[in-house]
Structures are given as structure tokens and as C-alpha cells.
């Protein structure tokens, strides 16, 4: 993050600082973080300026918001040099690879464990079903994103503001060097490749992130049962804990019911 870039913003910023990533002496400054709580409405004003500024705003939560370190953001537990470029990955290939790993099991799984895994992913089993079709005529992704920002701030009163020099919200987590999904995927560039595709197909926008959570607004969510089931498969491939550690029953079908028409997608990696 070039400090000169911040000076070009038309929107005044609250007090904050550039964060040096945890890469030893060669750490990069990829994130600006506010010192205090994100002012209401500021996220939306910064989003409206992104097309000119190239600075993407993020609402940032922490592992313990009451801790002065505000991990991982304030503590610099960010590793941008370890992340690949999202442009280097085909999102369908990435999802299919994750799916294959999650459904195949390994030598330490017994037959019952594999059977349970396949029950989770019914009716697809081990066969990757492919991506869900996108929605035509995406309506007002900015308005949907701002609505989620207001809701998130209301539910997380100690949220801070982060700024990342990124071409899109999808790329911002990788550019910042965020490792939230590391128990599932160490390279956030691969995650961002999928998020970029969701921007196009569903009008999704990355609004907020925590230590190991990610929150997206969705302007054009699936509206039918079949499409929702395919989207559920994509969510499982990206974040299996959404289903394996979510509300019972732990099945794609049950999860799909919850995302029909939902304008917010939340992800959590254990």
C-alpha cells in the first residue's frame, strides 16, 4: 500500500496506520488499518470511490476485538508474499480440485468416514457437478454491499476499517496476505480466484473479514432449488466447515435451502 495512494482519496479517513506484514525485515505494507471503530457510512463512500482510487475498503473483525493486537490485522499476521495471483487460476479447476480432496478421503479414513462424506455431498457424491449458472441482470451490487456493511457494523460494534490497494474486493484478501482459510487452503490467491468468478456470476462483493471468517454481499443469489444446490456444492468446496460444522443436518440439500434468495454469504474456517 503506497501512502501516496491514500492521499488521493476524496473521503477523509479516521486516524489509522499502515500495517507491516509478518515477513521479517522484508515485510510489505499491504494494509491500512483504522485505529478505532469504523465510522458508519464510511465503507460505502469509499466503495463508491474505488473505481477511481483503486483502494478497496474492508470491514475488519478480529480474533478478540477487545485485544489491543486486533489479530490478525493489527498484529501484522499477514503474508502477501506467499499468495499467488488470482489471475493464475481457473476457478472451476480450483473448486473441482478441492471437491476431489474433500470427497476422496485418505488412507486414514475408514469405510464409514468415506460413506458419511459422500452422504454430505449427495446427490453428487464424488463427482464434481460443475459451477452453478450465473444470474442474468445483476441488480445494484453496490446497494446490496452497503446494506450488508450497515448490518455488519451493527452486529460487530468493534469493527475497524481496512484499506487494500486491489482491483476488486475478491482480490483484496490475497493482496493483503490474509490467511483465514489456511486450515483448508494456504494460498488465498486460489480463494480469490473463486471470489472473482462469484463477482461476475452473482454480483458478490467482499465486504468484511475476520481472523478466519469472510462475509460477502450477493446481489443475485440463486432463486431455484437446483441452482442453490450447485451453489451449495461450490460453498462446500471452498469452505467445508460451513456444512460439516454448521447446523444439522450436515448435507448440501439442507444448506442449499438456507441460501435460496439469500443476499449474504458467510464463510468460516475452523
Mean pLDDT for each 10-residue chunk of the chain (270 residues)?
Answer: 85 94 68 96 96 96 92 95 96 97 71 72 93 80 96 96 97 97 97 97 97 97 95 97 82 94 96
31 DSSP assignment: E
Distance CA 213, CA 270 (A): 9
**What proportions of the chain, in percent to the nearest 5, are helix, strand and coil?**
40, 15, 45
pLDDT for the residue numbered 36: 96
Distance CA 16, CA 20 (A): 13
pLDDT for the residue numbered 107: 47
pLDDT for the residue numbered 116: 74
- The answer to whether the CB of 217 falls within 8 A of the CB of 227 is no
Q: Tell me the chain's radius of gyration from C-alpha atoms.
A: 19
| Whole-prediction pTM | 0.93
Distance CA 83, CA 118 (A): 31
Alpha helices in 69-209 (DSSP H): 91-104, 111-120, 141-155, 172-176, 188-202
Amino acid at each position: 500500500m503506497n501512502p501516496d495512494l491514500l492521499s488521493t482519496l476524496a473521503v477523509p479517513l479516521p486516524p489509522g496506520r499502515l500495517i507491516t506484514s509478518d515477513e521479517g525485515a522484508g515485510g510489505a505494507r499491504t494494509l491500512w488499518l483504522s485505529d478505532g471503530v469504523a465510522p458508519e457510512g464510511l465503507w460505502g463512500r469509499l466503495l463508491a470511490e474505488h473505481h477511481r482510487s483503486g483502494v478497496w475498503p474492508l470491514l475488519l473483525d478480529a480474533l478478540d476485538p477487545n485485544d489491543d493486537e486486533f489479530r490478525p490485522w493489527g498484529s501484522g499476521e499477514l503474508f502477501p508474499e506467499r499468495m499467488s495471483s488470482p489471475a493464475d487460476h481457473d476457478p472451476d479447476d480450483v473448486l473441482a480440485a478441492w471437491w476431489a480432496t474433500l470427497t476422496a478421503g485418505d488412507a486414514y479414513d475408514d469405510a464409514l468416514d468415506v460413506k458419511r462424506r459422500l452422504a454430505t455431498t449427495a446427490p453428487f457424491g464424488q463427482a464434481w457437478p460443475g459451477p452453478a449458472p450465473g444470474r442474468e441482470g445483476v441488480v445494484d451490487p453496490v446497494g446490496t454491499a452497503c446494506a450488508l456493511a450497515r448490518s455488519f457494523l451493527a452486529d460487530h460494534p468493534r469493527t475497524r476499517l481496512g484499506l487494500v490497494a486491489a482491483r476488486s474486493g475478491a482480490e483484496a484478501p490475497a493482496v493483503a496476505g490474509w490467511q483465514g482459510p489456511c486450515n483448508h487452503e494456504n494460498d488465498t490467491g486460489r480463494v480469490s480466484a473463486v471470489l472473482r468468478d462469484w463477482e461476475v456470476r452473482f454480483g458478490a462483493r467482499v465486504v468484511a473479514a475476520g481472523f478466519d471468517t469472510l462475509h460477502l454481499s450477493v446481489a443475485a443469489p440463486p432463486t431455484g432449488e437446483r441452482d442453490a444446490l450447485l451453489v451449495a456444492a461450490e460453498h462446500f468446496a471452498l469452505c467445508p466447515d460451513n456444512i460439516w460444522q454448521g447446523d444439522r443436518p450436515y448435507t448440501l440439500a439442507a444448506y442449499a435451502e438456507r441460501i435460496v434468495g439469500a443476499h449474504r454469504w458467510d464463510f468460516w474456517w475452523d
